[in-house]
Structure 1
Amino acid sequence: MAFFKEELMNVKGFAFDVDGVLSRIIQPLTAEGDPVRTANIRDGFAMVHAIRTGYPLAIITGGNTTEVRKRYQKLGVTHLYMGSLDKITFFEDFLKKTGLKESEIMYMGDDLPDYLVMKRVGVPVCPNDAVTEIKSVSKYISDRNGGEGCVRDVIEQVLRAQGKWIDPEKLHWSSF
């Protein structure tokens, strides 16, 4: 685990899947048969802090709903890629737009569409309930399930390691 902690120092950007990472995998369905995505408020808080601290952050998801788009736009995510299982193309666009290297990205995925991207990034991570193939390529498996704070877990670890996490004694709510 010490090796993983050292690798956190190299992270300069984040990318996350939605279903199974930012949202729980068991979800009610609408009358149209679409899943109703969940959102973890603590994940969102950590994402806002990371963005405001200067970390580029991408959402790369096969889903394509107005609700998900609005949620992450409100949090300040400017690299929002939706509607394709070909996540490599989206990932390469994120790298091009940010100027970051693959080795500087932490990517969190949970299922097979995330596999190829996770093989390329410097720090692949996953929630506790990810599928076996994703766990096998992850350098860290959160103790939290998808949609239950796993994103907060990894963002907080990176920012703490780099001395950029929030000091509650100096927290000014006007900055959020």
Structure 2
Amino acid sequence: MPHYPDALLQRAAKIRLVGFDVDGTLTDGRLHYASDGHETKSFHVQDGMGLVLLREAGIELALVSARISPLVAARGSELKIAHVHVGERSKLACMQRIAAGMGIGMDAVAFMGDDLPDLATLRAAGLAIAPANAHPWALAAAHWVAPRNGGEGAARDACDLILQAQGRLEGILAHGEHP
């Protein structure tokens, strides 16, 4: 298991809600369009498993995208994520609304983002996370940078950090299969 600094583990131990930007975080950030104009996206299966493990551990999840994409809604539905928001002009306001509805402050919120539209949310989150290939502005705002790139397992790295900080990873590993 990776070794994390104590201050990072303390931040991650408080998290009750995790929000993820989509393009560049859960995907590699490339936009693919078919000849008929339909968009396609690739999601990493390990990221999906990490999100399921967080959800099953009782941590609320949110997908928050500035772009409008039915693919994001479909992926959120497949993973049983209650908070899927597309076309969000202010990701910070969206995350604040979800947190307020849960009765928690932003110190109990983690957010993973990779570029300018994510900066305000990263700066306000109790735990700000960026994928390794995030824009330098997002990297500077992050409390922790995942070792992998967006769309290549970075979200799973974030999920594993939070699960470890909350003492849940050992039980998952002992079970040895999807709960």
TM-score (norm 1): 0.91
* Contact kept? 1:107, 1:124, Cα under 8 Å: yes
Distance across 2 between alignment mates of 1:129 and 1:168: 28
Structure 1 runs, 4 residues or longer, greater than 4 Å off: 32-35
Q: String of CA shifts for 1:88-128, please: whole Å, max 9, x gaps.
A: 22112211222221001110000100011111111111001
Q: How big is the alpha-carbon RMSD for the aligned residues of Structure 1 and Structure 2?
A: 1.7
Instruction: Determine whether 1:167 maps to 2:160.
Output: no
Matched, 1:104 2:104: no
Alpha carbons 2:67, 2:87 under 8 Å: kept? yes
Structure 1's unaligned 5+ residue stretches are: none
* Structure-1 residue corresponding to 2:20: 16
SS across alignment from 2:110: strand
CA distance in 2, matches of 1:160, 1:9: 8
Paired residues of 1:56 and 1:98 also in contact (CA < 8 A): no
In the alignment, what sits opposite 1:142?
Answer: 146
Report the secondary structure of 1:167's partner residue: helix
CA contact (8 A) 1:19 1:25 kept: yes
Structure 2: which 5+ residue stretches go unaligned?
none
> How many residues of Structure 1 are paired with residues of Structure 2 in the alignment?
174
For 2:141, the aligned partner's letter is V
Residue 70 of structure 2 is matched in structure 1 by: 66
Percent of residue pairs identical: 24
Structure 1 SS opposite 2:40: coil
Shift of 1:33: 5.0
Normalising by structure 2, what TM-score? 0.89
Instruction: State the partner residue of 1:49.
Output: 53
